[in-house]
Amino acid sequence: MSLFAIIVAATFLVVAFAAARGDAPEKWCAAIIAAEALIDLALQFTIGPRSFVEFDLSRLLLDLFAASALIAVAMRANRLYPLAIAAAQLVAVIGSISALVARDGWSQAFWAMTQLPVVLQLALLLGGTLMHRYRLSRVGPYNSWSPPQPRHVQPG
């Protein structure tokens, strides 16, 4: 079985588990990761497989979209692991930017920096969802999102 097939299968399994057993932050992270994977697969089937020899604008835009969405979830979630998922996505963004800046000799680094963060993200999402289930069994329902901070009004 190829690495690609293993990552696709792991993505499907972890996303399905997080969507079925997680609460709102897990479901949002799962949806973002699934959307990125589906859009990436659609692009590969329509424009052909990606070459990691040169910069790919569609890869950068997709990674930027996912990073923005994951950062938004991480900033509101009442959990720590979404911060790590967002950080892993930023590694993918940096990989695309490095391929844009340094065009020669970066194909293996470009591949590693844009493709391997998903493995870390899947492990974090799986671990975060498992910990959410454990916490639910221990303490019962709890807030999925951090409460909004009160706005401080400066006296007049």
At 64-123, the pLDDT tens digits run 999 999 999 999 999 999 999 999 999 999 888 877 777 665 677 777 787 888 889 999
Whether residue 147 is predicted with pLDDT greater than 70 in this model: the reply is yes
Please return the burial class of 156, using the count of CB atoms within 10 Å of its CB with bins 0-12, 13-18 and 19+.
exposed
* CB-based contact 83:116 (threshold 8 Å): no
Phi, psi of 13 (to 5 degrees): -65, -45
Whether residue 53 is predicted with pLDDT greater than 90 in this model: the reply is no
The predicted model gives 54-72 an average pLDDT of 92
State the pLDDT at residue 46: 92
Q: Which amino acid is at 129?
A: T
Q: Is pLDDT larger for residue 27 or for residue 147?
A: 27
